[in-house]
Amino acid sequence: MSQQVNVSKPGTPVTHASTQGAEHKGGLPQLNADDFAPQLVWLALTFGALYWIMARIALPRIADVLEKRRDHIATDIDAAHKFKKRSEEAEAAYKASLADAKAKAHTIAQDTRDKLNIKTDAKRADVDSQINAKLMDAEKRIKTAKKSALKEINVIATTTTKDIVEHLIGNKTSDKDLANALKSIATG
Amino acid sequence: MATAQGNDGAMMPNPMNQFEIQRYINWEIGGVDVSFTNSSLFMVLAVVVTSAFLIITMRGHQMVPGRLQSISELLYEFVRNMVRDSTGPKGEKYFPFIFSLFIFVLVINMLGMLPLGHYSFTPTSQIIVTFALAALVFVGVTLIGFWKHGIGYLKLFAPSGVPWYMLPIIIPIEIISYLTRPISLSVRLFANMMVGHTLLKVLGGFAGALGVAGIGPLLLMIPFTGLEILVAFLQAFVFAVLTSIYLNDALNMHDH
C-alpha cells in the first residue's frame, strides 16, 4: 500500500524506511517522529491560508449578505407599518366622508320632501278653493233654477186650477181668489 | 477473494496502515522535511473545498438564499451564535479564528469519510496535527489572558468563593487542569478519529475476508458509518466549543 506512492522521488530514503520500521515494530504510525515536521509545516501553511481566506474574504461576505438581509427586512417591516397606518387613515377618512355624505343626503332628501310638501299643500289648497267656488256657483245656480222652477210651478198651477175651475163651474175666478186659495193649500 | 490467493490468515489488511504518512513529493528546505504527503494533500483539499464552497455559494448575494447559500449561512450563524453565547461581545474578533478551526476540523473529518481506497486519509487522526491545533489554542488563549489581565490572570487558578484552607488543594488542581487542556483537547479529537476509522477498517477487512458471510460486517458498517459522520461533526463542534470556553476564561475570567 505504501510502496505504490512512495516511489515518487528518490533522495530522502530515511523517512521512508523509518515509516516501515514503525509499522513493523507494531507502534502507532502516528507516533513516528519523522512524519511530524512535514505535517506541522503543511498544517501551518494550510490553516494559515484558511484563516486568511475566512477572515478576509468568506466571512465578511456572509456577514454582509446577512446584514443586508436584516436591513432589508427591517425596512420592509417599516414600510409595511407605514402602509398600514396610511390605509387606516384612508379608511378613517373614507368612513368620515361616508358619514358626511349620508348626513348631506339625508338633509337634501328632507329639504326636497319639505319643499314638495309645501308645493302640494299649496296646490291642494288652490284646487280646494277652486272646487269650493265651483260648488258654490253650482249651488247658486241650482237655487235659482229651483226658484224659477217653483215660480213656474205656481203659474202652471194657477192657470191649470183656473182652467179646471172654469170647466167645473163655468165661472171665471179672479186671479186674486185663486192665488189666495192656492196659498192656503200650499201652507196647508 | 482474499482466501483465493492462498495466504489464509495474513490477508486482512492492517487497519493501522491507513494512518501512515505517504510522501507524494519529497521536499526539504533548510534541513526541514516539508514533503508533500497524503496528510498535506487532505489539508490542502480541506482549505480548497471550504473556501470554494463558502465563496461560490455566497457569490449570488441572494436576498432569499438558495439551498447551498443556506448551508453557508447556517454554518456561519451556528458558529457565530456559539462564540457569542460562550464569550460574549469581547469574543467577536476571535470569531474568524474559531470559525476557521471548526470548519477546518469538520471538513477534514468529513473528507476522511470518503471511501477513496489507499488514498483515504484523515489528518485529524494524526496526534501531531491535533496537538498542534490544541497547542495553538492553548498558547493563544494564555497569551490573551495575560495580555488582558496581566499577572491577575493567575487568579484563574484560585476561583472566588473557595474557602482559604481549600486553596492549597484547589490551586494545584486548577493548574494541572489548565495545563492538561491541550492534551485533552488534542487526544479527544485524535482518538475519536482514529478509533472510528480503525473500527470501520476492521469491519471492512472482515467483510472482505469472510466471503459471502461478509455481508454481516458489511451491514454493520452502515450504522457505524452514520455514527462516524455524526462523530466527525460532533468532534469538530466540541473542539470549537472548548476553544470558545477557554477563550472566555481568558477574556472574562470568572466575571462572566
Q: Can you tell me the ipTM of this complex?
A: 0.89
Helix A59-169 / helix B95-111 crossing angle, nearest 10 deg: 100
Going by the DSSP 8-state scheme, the letter that residue B25 receives in this structure is E
- At B101 the pLDDT is 96
Asked if A36 lies within 8 A of B128 by C-beta distance, the reply is yes
Closest CA to B58 of B46, B44, B71: B71
- At B147 the pLDDT is 94
* Nearest-CA distance A102 → chain B (Å): 49
> In A, which residues are within 8 Å of B23 by CB distance?
5-6, 8, 12, 15-16, 38
What distance in Å separates the CA atoms of residue B57 and residue A5, rounded to the nearest whole number? Answer: 35
What would the mean pLDDT of B14-31 be, rounded to a whole number? 87
Q: What is the pLDDT of residues A92-122, one digit of tens each?
A: 999 999 999 999 999 999 999 999 999 999 9
> In A, which residues are within 8 Å of B44 by CB distance?
42, 46
Closest CA to B79 of B61, B59, B97: B97
Q: Is the pLDDT of residue A139 over 90?
A: yes
Which sequence spans correspond to the domains of chain A?
152-187
What would the mean pLDDT of A25-47 be, rounded to a whole number? 87
Helix B38-57 / helix B95-111 crossing angle, nearest 10 deg: 120
- At B12 the pLDDT is 66
Q: What is the pLDDT of residues B107-148, one digit of tens each?
A: 999 999 988 878 889 999 999 999 999 999 999 999 999 999
CA distances for A26 relative to A5, A103, B42, B90, angstroms: 22, 104, 25, 48
Rounded (10°) CA dihedral B126, B130, B133, B139: -120
Q: What type of residue is B134? A: A
A69 interface with B at CB cutoff 8 Å: yes
Band (pLDDT 50/70/90 cuts) for residue A188 is low
**Mean pLDDT over each residue of chain B, to the nearest integer:** 89
Band (pLDDT 50/70/90 cuts) for residue B254 is low
More confident position, B47 or A17:
B47
* Nearest by CB: B19 against A28, A47, A50: A28
Asked which of A75-79, A184-188, B115-119, B132-136 is least confident by mean pLDDT, the reply is: A184-188
Q: What is the pLDDT of residues B54-79, one digit of tens each?
A: 999 988 777 788 889 999 999 999 99
With cell 233654477, the residue in question is A145
What would the mean pLDDT of B77-105 be, rounded to a whole number? 94
∠ CA A155-A161-A165, rounded to 5°: 150
* Nearest-CA distance A14 → chain B (Å): 11
Q: What type of residue is B56? A: I
B81 interface with A at CB cutoff 8 Å: no
Q: Is the pLDDT of residue A175 over 90?
A: no
Dump the DSSP string for B104-130. Answer: HHHHHHHHTTS--GGG---GGGSHHHH
> In A, which residues are within 8 Å of B123 by CB distance?
39, 43
Asked which of A167-181, B88-102, B225-239 is least confident by mean pLDDT, the reply is: A167-181
Asked if B26 lies within 8 A of A41 by C-beta distance, the reply is no
B96 interface with A at CB cutoff 8 Å: yes
- In a mutational test of the B interface, the residue from A12, A19, A62, A71 whose CB has the highest number of chain B CBs within 10 Å is A62
**Residues with Cβ < 8 Å from B183, sequence gap 6 or more?**
B131, B134
Q: Is the pLDDT of residue A10 over 50?
A: no
Which sequence spans correspond to the domains of chain B?
70-252
Band (pLDDT 50/70/90 cuts) for residue A150 is confident
What distance in Å separates the CA atoms of residue B244 and residue B140, rounded to the nearest whole number? Answer: 12
What would the mean pLDDT of B200-226 be, rounded to a whole number? 88
For residue A61, what is the nearest residue in chain B, using CA coordinates?
A: B58
